[in-house]
């Protein structure tokens, strides 16, 4: 038995299982997984080292338990996404998968790109384990990628995976905002910011200013879709509330209304010409009144785990 195989023994109940026993039990469990969806049985078998080894082997196309069905064009990570979605949010299964993903991501980040890195990032981006948040957000903060990783386009996948999490700390918001001027990353950065629709509206002018002319109409429509996902009425209200900030670009209100029409939403009514028409506590649109004018004052959002 190898050192890695030795780690596969044991269960959360503290029982000592041989490698053959644990494989046999998990193989039996997976055979009826799609019909039973019984996560409780799996919890009594696995350990985090086992899950980590299983994920790595499967993503490397070396799964000894449930070989990938290549004829069905099955993504190797899909089995673990299905298990994650079936498991309760506070389950041991999710905790083990999250810890395994964090360990594997850390190893890949330290070593350099591997062929199965794309699949691991797809798994993390779908499940969004809490344990992976710190590493991914540090990647955003540094914004530095190895040349080999960037040449393979993996830098975009890493940032896309980080952007799937809700934005939290003010320094992370600053990091995403700084990427709005980067042609390669600007749309990823805006998607990350738009998890908070208020942030999305606040950064619309900066994003629009950086967009290539030949793509600005399409990308602005997509930006408005992201904000409107939180509710059409909320989207329109935020555009009105931040009207004076959005008017910093003379042509921008017209572009916003064109984008709103294109996605089937009503145009934004005319913004009041004077701040005196609105009570100060109701007006957040000016640089001096917006809670995002001083980005350091932003309070972290409450973390939500993917359902």
d(CA 209, CA 263): 21
Torsion of CA 151, 157, 158, 161, to 10 degrees: 180
Q: Write down the pTM of the prediction.
A: 0.80
Contacts of residue 18, defined as CB under 8 A and 6 or more positions apart, other chains included, come to 9
DSSP letter, residue 71: G
Q: Per residue in 186-214, pLDDT tens?
A: 999 999 999 999 999 999 999 999 999 99
Cβ–Cβ under 8 Å, residues 190 and 200: yes
pLDDT tens for 78-112 read 999 999 999 999 999 999 999 999 999 999 999 98
Q: CA 245, CA 174: separation in Å to the nearest integer?
A: 18
Name the one residue in this structure whose structure tokens are 């957000």.
Answer: 137
Q: Cβ of 62: how many Cβ atoms within 10 Å? A: 12
pLDDT tens digits, one per residue of 242-299: 888 888 888 888 999 999 999 999 988 765 443 433 333 343 333 333 444 443 333 3
Query: What does the alpha-carbon distance between residue 274 and residue 277 come to, in Å, rounded to a whole number?
Result: 6
Half-sphere exposure of 25 (CA within 13 A, CB side): 19
- Quote the radius of gyration of the chain (alpha carbons, Å): 23
């Amino acid at each position: 038995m190898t050192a890695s195989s030795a780690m596969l023994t044991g269960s959360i109940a503290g029982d000592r299982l041989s490698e053959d026993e644990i494989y046999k039990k998990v193989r039996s469990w997976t055979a009826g997984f799609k019909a039973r969806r019984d996560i409780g049985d799996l919890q009594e078998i696995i350990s985090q080292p086992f899950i980590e080894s299983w994920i790595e082997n499967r993503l490397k196309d070396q799964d000894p338990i449930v070989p990938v069905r290549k004829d069905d064009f099955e993504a190797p990570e899909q089995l673990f996404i299905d298990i994650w979605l079936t498991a309760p949010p506070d389950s041991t299964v999710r905790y083990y998968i999250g810890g395994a993903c964090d360990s594997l991501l850390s190893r890949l980040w330290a070593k350099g790109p591997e062929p199965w890195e794309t699949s691991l990032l797809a798994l993390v981006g779908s499940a969004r384990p809490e344990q992976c948040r710190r590493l991914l957000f540090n990647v955003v903060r540094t914004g530095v990628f190895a040349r080999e990783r960037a040449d393979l386009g993996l830098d975009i996948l890493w940032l896309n995976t980080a952007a799937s999490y809700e934005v939290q700390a003010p320094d992370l918001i600053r990091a995403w905002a700084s990427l709005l001027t980067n042609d390669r990353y600007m749309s990823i950065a805006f998607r990350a910011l738009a998890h908070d629709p208020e942030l999305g509206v606040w950064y619309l002018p900066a994003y629009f200013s950086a967009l290539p002319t030949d793509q600005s109409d399409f990308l602005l429509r997509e930006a408005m879709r992201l904000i409107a996902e939180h509710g059409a009425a909320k989207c329109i209200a935020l555009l009105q509330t931040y009207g004076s900030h959005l008017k910093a670009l003379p042509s921008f209100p017209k572009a916003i209304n064109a984008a709103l029409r294109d996605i089937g939403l009503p145009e934004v009514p005319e913004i009041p010409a004077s701040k005196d028409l609105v009570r100060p506590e109701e007006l957040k649109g000016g640089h001096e009144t917006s809670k995002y004018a001083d980005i350091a004052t932003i309070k972290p959002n409450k973390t939500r785990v993917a359902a």
